[in-house]
Amino acid sequence: MTLRIAVPNKGSLSQAATDILRESGYRQRSDSKELALVDSENDVEFFYLRPRDIALYVGEGTLDVGITGRDLLLDSGAKAEEVMNLGFGRSRFHFAGPVGRYSSLQDLDGLRIATSYVGVVEDYLFRHGIDATVTRLDGAVETSIQLGVADVIADVVETGSTLRAAGLETFGEVILDSQAVLITRGGEVPDDFEIFHRRIEGVLVARSFVMMDYDIEERHLERASELAPGREGPTISPLGKKGWVAVRVMVPRAGSQRLMDDLYSIGARAILLTDIHACRL
């Protein structure tokens, strides 16, 4: 059975989603008007859908896998489950109001809240025992305060520049931290899903790790391995030079320059860093 996968067709998640699929070796559409694409070599079919609708298709079992935002998944109330974080499309969901006017959750009682995420907001208000009126808007929710349709908004904040431009600021705690996630219906998943999952995971690991090679005198090896233990221990090979070994180890990309400095200072030489394009761990 062909694995059927939902991919965001537009918006903040679309480009990064197709990038990760391409890097994982799947065919992707070349024209943004294409609504579906069969990758027969890998026996998968991609459907390009509104990210807001993706959880629904997956929750209903119409499609096997989807890429969407955690906030959109929760907002939909669909019976789909998160399988893994994808590391892009990060955002925070917040209440916001005119600068200086509101400071805490309690201020929300009796107010009118505009949002595109009614499910998330109503659930949050219910859990905190707050009685407020929620109005659904499709977008540009920031403007609703100025136009007198709402007192406060609840919206996605990424850089915060849209809020600042509208003279608004967040208040209260973060309602929800979101990023793009891989979702399935949960329970039994098609056999082919394992391969798809492993490929995506391989790309994510390859993005966050680099391969480090260096030469070092054997007597310093223990200290060097403490600095860079690798995932299952470093690979150690003999070198022509007596008493020296060559070491190969996978290290987190973040902090890898610092690690090179530290290894150098304990005697490592010919330290090389190379990108990993994909892997299976």
Ligand X SMILES: O=P(O)(O)OC[C@H]1O[C@H](OP(=O)(O)OP(=O)(O)O)[C@H](O)[C@@H]1O
Ligand Y SMILES: Nc1ncnc2c1ncn2[C@@H]1O[C@H](COP(=O)(O)OP(=O)(O)OP(=O)(O)O)[C@@H](O)[C@H]1O
Applying CB under 6 A, the residues found at the interface with ligand Y are 8, 10-13, 51-52, 69, 71-72, 89, 91, 139, 156, 158, 178
What are residue 96's phi and psi, to 5 degrees? -145, 150
CB of 140 to ligand Y, least distance (A): 9
CB of 13 to ligand Y, least distance (A): 5
Name which of 37 and 113 has its Cβ closer to ligand X: 113
CB of 206 to Mg ion, least distance (A): 30
CB of 119 to ligand X, least distance (A): 16
CA distances from 65 to 29, 83, 106, 190, 267 (A): 18, 10, 39, 10, 49
Instruction: List all residues 6 or more positions away from 174 whose beta carbon is below 8 Å from its beta carbon.
Output: 92, 93, 94
Residues that bind ligand X (CB under 6 A): 139-140, 142, 155-162
Length of the chain: 281
CB atoms within 10 A of CB 12: 17
CB of 152 to ligand X, least distance (A): 14
Name which of 136 and 277 has its Cβ closer to ligand Y: 136
Binding mask 123-162 for Mg ion (x = CB under 5 A): ----------------x-----------------------
Pairing of strands 209-217, 152-157: unpaired
Among ligand Y, Mg ion, ligand X, none, residue 69 binds (CB under 5-8 Å by kind):
ligand Y
Instruction: List all residues 6 or more positions away from 5 whose beta carbon is below 8 Å from its beta carbon.
Output: 44, 45, 46, 47, 63, 64, 65, 66, 67, 196
- Indicate if the alpha-carbon torsion angle 107, 113, 117, 122 is positive or negative: positive
Among Mg ion, ligand X, ligand Y, none, residue 161 binds (CB under 5-8 Å by kind):
ligand X
Name which of 116 and 184 has its Cβ closer to Mg ion: 116
Residues found near Mg ion in the complex (CB under 5 A): 139
